[in-house]
Structure 1
């Protein structure tokens, strides 16, 4: 097993040579065998143990065991303890997810503060099978079937080529002691039920199940690479990045065979799960949308628009601007200064008669009933919503428009059009320039 691991590292992880490695060590069979192997290969290693305090005295027994192992073998060790259940409750997570998040956050912290290059975890071939079957049972895309990655950023999993049985046999042959986690015996968790009942049956049906499975996963991984390459090429034809979000051209999208597969490939990383609703957006009316926790997909005419959700946005919020203020930073960057002369106003700069203003000015988002007198159209009013239509603004662009008010009159549809009633004329004595930066 030692020689196989050495060859595996040479072929797949040659960059580990002369690096400082942090080994995630629970005290269980897999992590202790990994520690023994890398210590024998003379790598610069240290152990990192998390006490999640989930199994009472047993958790502290694991901690003491790893401490003794590190001391006996002269291996540096890092230890931390977590109140995992409190963390899970505070952040509304399952205990397993909370433990995983705490664990990996701490590992990355150690990489940064202690100068380690990589974290090694002891996942093996049976873990890969179990993860595959869990994802398969819950429903997943291709990415859920390709297995646990051998490398994910700074996380390396060097034991994936070995089965649990091989690791156990190596430990017994070399008289290696380890700690058994009592929770592994319980079928309360789906993974344990698959481990105890389903995987042994599959191995019984096919004695060569693990190598056959590994070969199948390698094919799936190759297929995923091909899918990702095709997805990138098609994305460049269909999608366009704008300031307010990503626009997907529906006319181009509908030309694709199985366009739903491309939508899944592009959008799943943004946390969406209501896929039928997303696919229905393609043929729905403008204004329909689907949300994930942090993003929104909006149908607007011939586009789907992906944008982050502004969690702080509030259509009722107002910002007051007192006379004499020179700069406003929230919600927009506006500057106010007196000038002696004017030039033709633009979308980002207007000139107004300061004497006509009623302070404080107010910034708020637009409402459906808002009316104003567009610059250059004296005596004629227009709905702001009609201005948006004439300007061909998308629904997303409309949502981000702010209005500058003086009393009950619009001074400026900011960034789009000034109001005629505040324009500079031959009676103006004080000119105020307002600029959107």
Structure 2
């Protein structure tokens, strides 16, 4: 990670303070992110002040965000823990984009991994739910994952490191704490090498999951056709595999379905039967299961301008020179645009002229070449001028609007 710009998520607790101390001593380019969830009144404010003071003393830049977590949880109909998680990671990713940093580091460790495994096991899960917390997930990296809570506490003690105790950790109000206080100690008493055994088990489970994914990809090619924004699953080909339920789960698990038995029963159901998630549906149509987005989900086109509400935001700035080029920013010839600009999702027949290439390309072909999943396609926004694609947002600019030697007005368009 040398040469990368790193955010460290620091709560003030022992785990995150050890993470901060290590990376500060190793002389990485770091800045700190701290969330004040306003859940423990003066204690939360004390954590914020502790982190701020520590960073200022070490000349480490620190960014602090205060949330009304209770209100957000009530408005969003989420548990406090899920609300805090959403607030935290939404803010983390907004800071990555805003500051153009590379990664966010969190202080999850081996005991956290064991607790997560036991929580998933208790609630019921598939193989993927038993493979543990990933060491890296997109832009989130967890460098302390191989180390136990005991090792972290020993390091903090030997270095006289200060930290803040979270009083809620002592309570059994939350399910994780019940596992931590009442289950894990018994397991460690039964097996003094529990964490080592657990690491071996995780390695075996991850190897098994890798085999599942390989097999799933091979069968996918023979069973599924991608047509526009639909997946067509050939039932006759699917039933050649006795473990077809496992394949269906593997292919459809990211589509937010929960009624898995209903999906499995579609294979032998009458045509016309349907199963829904919040955003997708599966339809039995003769010899096929057809997966498609629900028609009420984001087919709208949004006009960009002052006073207009849009799902994503842009900033516009006239510039003299092109600088700081990255995936969240393009530079265009302003005079080539027709305002107002709009954003939308892709439509059948869309094409554009990818910058750096000769000629036009169907957007469906571009998505296929970039290995977009159906979900990726449905989540991808397109910036348009008079219905001509200016930018596959965050991915590829259109050549027709690029800056040339004849450009008089250079415009920077940046994703916020």
TM-score by length of 2: 0.71
2:156 corresponding residue in structure 1:
171
1:298 to 250, 275, 283: 283
Q: Does 1:156 align with 2:149?
A: no
CA–CA distance in 1 between the matches of 2:295 and 2:288?
20
TM-score by length of 1: 0.67
CA–CA distance in 2 between the matches of 1:222 and 1:17?
29
1:67 corresponding residue in structure 2:
52
Say which SS state the counterpart of residue 145 (structure 2) adopts.
coil
Q: Does 1:212 align with 2:197?
A: yes
Say which SS state the counterpart of residue 246 (structure 1) adopts.
strand
Query: How do 1:140-289 residues align onto structure 2 when only pairs under 5 Å count?
Result: 140-289=125-274
Post-superposition shift, 1:93?
A: 1.3
1:79 corresponding residue in structure 2:
64
1:403 corresponding residue in structure 2:
none
1:11 corresponding residue in structure 2:
none
1:19 corresponding residue in structure 2:
4
CA–CA distance in 2 between the matches of 1:225 and 1:312?
33
Contact 2:235 2:267 in 1 (8 A): yes
What RMSD, in angstroms, separates the aligned Cα atoms of the two structures? 1.5
Deviations 1:59-101 (A, max 9, x none): 0000001011101212111111011111112221111111111
CA–CA distance in 1 between the matches of 2:120 and 2:53?
37
Post-superposition shift, 1:231?
A: 0.2
CA–CA distance in 2 between the matches of 1:210 and 1:300?
49
Mark the CA change 1:190 to 1:312 in structure 2 (over 3 Å): closer, same or farther.
closer
1:125 to 110, 123, 141: 110
Runs of 4+ in 1 over 4 A off after TM superposition: none
Say which SS state the counterpart of residue 176 (structure 1) adopts.
coil
CA–CA distance in 2 between the matches of 1:108 and 1:250?
40
1:55 corresponding residue in structure 2:
40
CA–CA distance in 2 between the matches of 1:138 and 1:240?
34
Contact 2:279 2:297 in 1 (8 A): no
1:116 to 101, 109, 123: 101
Q: Between Structure 1 and Structure 2, how many residues are aligned?
A: 300
CA–CA distance in 2 between the matches of 1:279 and 1:170?
51
Post-superposition shift, 1:244?
A: 5.0
CA–CA distance in 1 between the matches of 2:297 and 2:179?
43
Post-superposition shift, 1:162?
A: 0.4
Say which SS state the counterpart of residue 123 (structure 1) adopts.
coil
CA–CA distance in 2 between the matches of 1:208 and 1:162?
14
2:16 to 3, 9, 31: 31
Mark the CA change 1:283 to 1:179 in structure 2 (over 3 Å): closer, same or farther.
same
Post-superposition shift, 1:52?
A: 0.6
Mark the CA change 1:200 to 1:312 in structure 2 (over 3 Å): closer, same or farther.
closer
CA–CA distance in 2 between the matches of 1:252 and 1:185?
54
CA–CA distance in 2 between the matches of 1:207 and 1:250?
50
Say which SS state the counterpart of residue 50 (structure 1) adopts.
strand
Where does structure 2 lack aligned partners over 5 or more consecutive residues? 299-346, 348-416
CA–CA distance in 2 between the matches of 1:133 and 1:186?
18
Contact 2:280 2:291 in 1 (8 A): yes
Say which SS state the counterpart of residue 75 (structure 1) adopts.
coil
Post-superposition shift, 1:115?
A: 2.4
1:95 corresponding residue in structure 2:
80
Say which SS state the counterpart of residue 297 (structure 1) adopts.
strand
Bigger radius of gyration among the two: 1
Post-superposition shift, 1:256?
A: 0.5
Post-superposition shift, 1:109?
A: 1.3
Say which SS state the counterpart of residue 160 (structure 1) adopts.
coil
Say which SS state the counterpart of residue 273 (structure 1) adopts.
coil
Mark the CA change 1:300 to 1:54 in structure 2 (over 3 Å): closer, same or farther.
same
Where does structure 1 lack aligned partners over 5 or more consecutive residues? 1-15, 314-332, 334-437
Post-superposition shift, 1:277?
A: 0.9
